[in-house]
Amino acid sequence: MKKLESLFNPKSIAIVGASPKRGKLGNILAENIKISGWKGQIYPVNPKYAKNHAKYFASLQEIKKKVDLVLVAIPATAVSQALLEGATASPKISNFAVISSGFKEAGTEGKKLESELVEISEKYQLNILGPNCLGFINPKQKLNATFTSGNFKPGKVAIVSQSGALAVALLDWTESIGAGLSKVISIGNKSVVDESDVINYLAGDKDTHAIALYLEDIKSGGKFIEALTKLSGRKPVVVIKAGKNKLGQKAISSHTGSLAQDESIIEAAFKKFNLIQADNIPEFQDLIEFLSFTEIPRSGEIIVVTNAGGPGVLASDFIGKSEQLSLLELPTKVKNELKTLLPAGSSVENPIDILGDATPERYQGTLEILSKYLAKYPTLAILTPQSQTDPDRVAQVLVKSKKKIPVLLTSFLGGKKVSKAKLALKEKCISDFSSPEEALAAMEKILLFRNSQSDLKKRTGNSPKELSLKKQSSSIKIFDGALREKRHMLFWNEAEKIFNRYKIPLLKSTSFAALNDPRLKKVKFPCVLKTDDPKIAHRWDKKGVVLNISNFSEFKKAYLRIKKNTKSKNFLIQPMQKPGLELILGMKRDSSFGLVIIIGLGGTYAEIFRDRVIFIPPVTPKEILRKLRDLKMYPILKGYRGEKGYNLQEIANVILRIQQLASENPEISEIDINPFLIYNDGRKGQVLDAKVYLA
């Protein structure tokens, strides 16, 4: 993939499917480019008009000049031909935005057309945006290369959308609040240029300070991770992900033809790279507005100024439940100055309640005191339209204060009485929110981004000594043997050999088949008997486990019972273990993201509380130790109510070894460990049960 610089900053554009007829897509595109004020060269291409219209070309090949970008607006079936013409033109044309629909989203025929397009792109090294997209907008270049109209000004945030329709709505909204944008890129079916390519491009785009993504799927998990690794949080990325469950994914596949992905892994990737996740459209808008108008706060200690007690309480409630936010304790000096200014009955504690009869002058006086001493703290000004409060004049006061208080948010509550003031605030780059809670929600997410960035840099935890292993023929033998028997699950003693090499502490067990096995004479009680059957994934559910067997007569009964329940031929004896803390631990290979590792609460409550975290390798000890904190059970791991804590380094080491095992043995598709039993009395943890699956 070549750099996308010239695609998004073209000096010359050809429009294939150009038309003098109003309402035709090619005509709308050309009109929008002209109206937006772009200064480059346009080449209309349409064989139908080439004869009678002097400026029209019959094909891309006839232009004979450097064309930075081709906008393609012809029927889907003709698109490949146009690409070929461009690719073989002289000079060669490399950048295309295919606006046309009728591809993957339109069924079998369209899918075929889209594959052709991808093949041509690969053969000729073309950058293709779309197909089935809106195009893009580069406000700084005054270039609107889409079929939607509007008056777009430059700004700090780039919008990248997999839904053209949503981009249209967002554009209309940003225009209405007077916010500019650095780029708007509709990626459509993203057959060639996908979200990862665009992130790579925007990472280096100096006009873009933040990226807002609407995504329905991740084209390639691996490429996405690479792009985000390179970006490494230098610019905040806001993402709204659609298709979070089966119903949403069904809706996606019916309108784009994409396949469902594992949402929990996508979520883990978002978290790993510290993306700011919006839960719905209004929150997405709030975050875009915040990043457009306000700088990233350097503190979560907030000051609230309000003329309304109730909304001040709701703000306090939100702050009270947030881990990122707190109410700034006001210095005595500030409180004293506020007391001099404000009438009796006001509260000079934070939230500062300047009362229902607050005039614009009272807002002004309060904000002047705050800007004198506490300008660096984020400040939220709340207003309700009481009779003595003139919202428009209070807005003017706030606009002046913004010059001194860089993180100043507002929430003017009401309807008609505040609508003009709300727009006036936004026009002067103050983020105004529908409610105090929404202002604080946006602030909280942006602070989480900020604080996690520094968190990522902290060094904690040691790696276990690297095991330098050469590929051993013994492993290959085990895999080959199993596959020859058409087994995709290993027997216990096979898994044991592999685990031992990676020092994963599997409980020493005895495998046997029949009751007359001589080793049974040496069994120590109490013990556990289990089926060891490669067809049985969940021994417990199939009644293939008996615990706490105390003598040989019980053992025989257990053997016969399990044999009856499971029809198994292979069994496993384990010493009964002292109770400890049960964890689940596992790995699998995701079709998009590759290797992922999971750890969490095991035992009875594993599926009830689903308290687990997913790691996307490569994972470092410090990342493991940081992510373990996301578990609800973390207090137990750390030591809780007088109980000793567990050895977190031991947990991290096992995860790192699973990572190494999985990396070095691509034949293994999945490992399920449950439980990994750990202790807080110095004893070492042990894997009591494990399933190893082959691809």
Considering only residues 636-675, where is the footprint of a second copy by CB under 8 A? 636, 640-642
Exactly one of 416, 457, 470, 484 binds a second copy (CB under 8 A); which one? 416
Looking at the Cβ atoms of 172 and 427, the one nearer to a second copy is 172
CA distance 671 to 267: 21
Taking CB under 8 A as the rule, does residue 61 contact a second copy? no
Within 13 A of 467's CA, how many CA atoms are on the CB side?
19
Closest CA to 367 of 410, 397, 344: 397
Taking CB under 8 A as the rule, does residue 12 contact a second copy? no
For the beta carbon of residue 486, count every other beta carbon within 10 angstroms.
7
Exactly one of 351, 365, 378, 534 binds a second copy (CB under 8 A); which one? 351
Work out how close the CB of 404 gets to a second copy at its nearest, in angstroms, rounded to a whole number. Answer: 26
Specify whether the CB–CB gap between 325 and 302 falls below 8 A: yes
Work out how close the CB of 105 gets to a second copy at its nearest, in angstroms, rounded to a whole number. Answer: 7
Closest CA to 197 of 299, 87, 95: 95
CA distance 389 to 385: 6
Phi and psi (nearest 5°) for 312? -65, -40
> Which pair of structure tokens corresponds to residue 268?
């883990």
Looking at the Cβ atoms of 176 and 460, the one nearer to a second copy is 176
CA distance 53 to 530: 84
Work out how close the CB of 320 gets to a second copy at its nearest, in angstroms, rounded to a whole number. Answer: 3
What is the b/e burial string over 125-149, where b = at least 16 CB atoms within 10 angstroms of the residue's CB?
A: ebbbbbbbbbbbbbbbbbbbbbbbe
Looking at the Cβ atoms of 72 and 668, the one nearer to a second copy is 72
Taking CB under 8 A as the rule, does residue 291 contact a second copy? no
Looking at the Cβ atoms of 193 and 278, the one nearer to a second copy is 278
Specify burial of residue 415 (Cβ count, 10 A radius: 0-12, 13-18, 19+): exposed
Stretch that binds a second copy, among 102-110, 228-236, 293-301, 471-479 (CB under 8 A): 102-110
Stretch that binds a second copy, among 122-130, 174-182, 365-373, 554-562 (CB under 8 A): 174-182
DSSP state of 160: E
Taking CB under 8 A as the rule, does residue 570 contact a second copy? no
Exactly one of 5, 172, 329, 485 binds a second copy (CB under 8 A); which one? 172
Taking CB under 8 A as the rule, does residue 292 contact a second copy? no
Taking CB under 8 A as the rule, does residue 319 contact a second copy? yes
DSSP state of 228: H
> How many residues of this chain bind a second copy (CB under 8 A)?
99
Looking at the Cβ atoms of 118 and 165, the one nearer to a second copy is 165
Taking CB under 8 A as the rule, does residue 385 contact a second copy? yes
Taking CB under 8 A as the rule, does residue 517 contact a second copy? no
Given the DSSP bridges, would you call strands 276-277 and 326-327 parallel, antiparallel or unpaired? unpaired
Residues between 225 and 264 with contacts to a second copy, criterion CB under 8 A: 240, 242-248, 250-252, 254-256
Stretch that binds a second copy, among 47-55, 60-68, 287-295, 339-347 (CB under 8 A): 339-347
Taking CB under 8 A as the rule, does residue 21 contact a second copy? no
Specify whether the CB–CB gap between 150 and 144 falls below 8 A: yes
CA distance 584 to 674: 5
Stretch that binds a second copy, among 158-166, 331-339, 526-534, 654-662 (CB under 8 A): 158-166
Taking CB under 8 A as the rule, does residue 122 contact a second copy? no
Q: How far is CA 86 from the centre of its chain?
A: 36
Work out how close the CB of 384 gets to a second copy at its nearest, in angstroms, rounded to a whole number. Answer: 4
Closest CA to 237 of 217, 269, 210, 206: 210
Stretch that binds a second copy, among 66-74, 98-106, 290-298, 395-403 (CB under 8 A): 98-106
Helices and strands in the chain, H and E counts: 24, 27
Exactly one of 633, 648, 655, 668 binds a second copy (CB under 8 A); which one? 633
Element housing 364 (H / E): helix 360-373
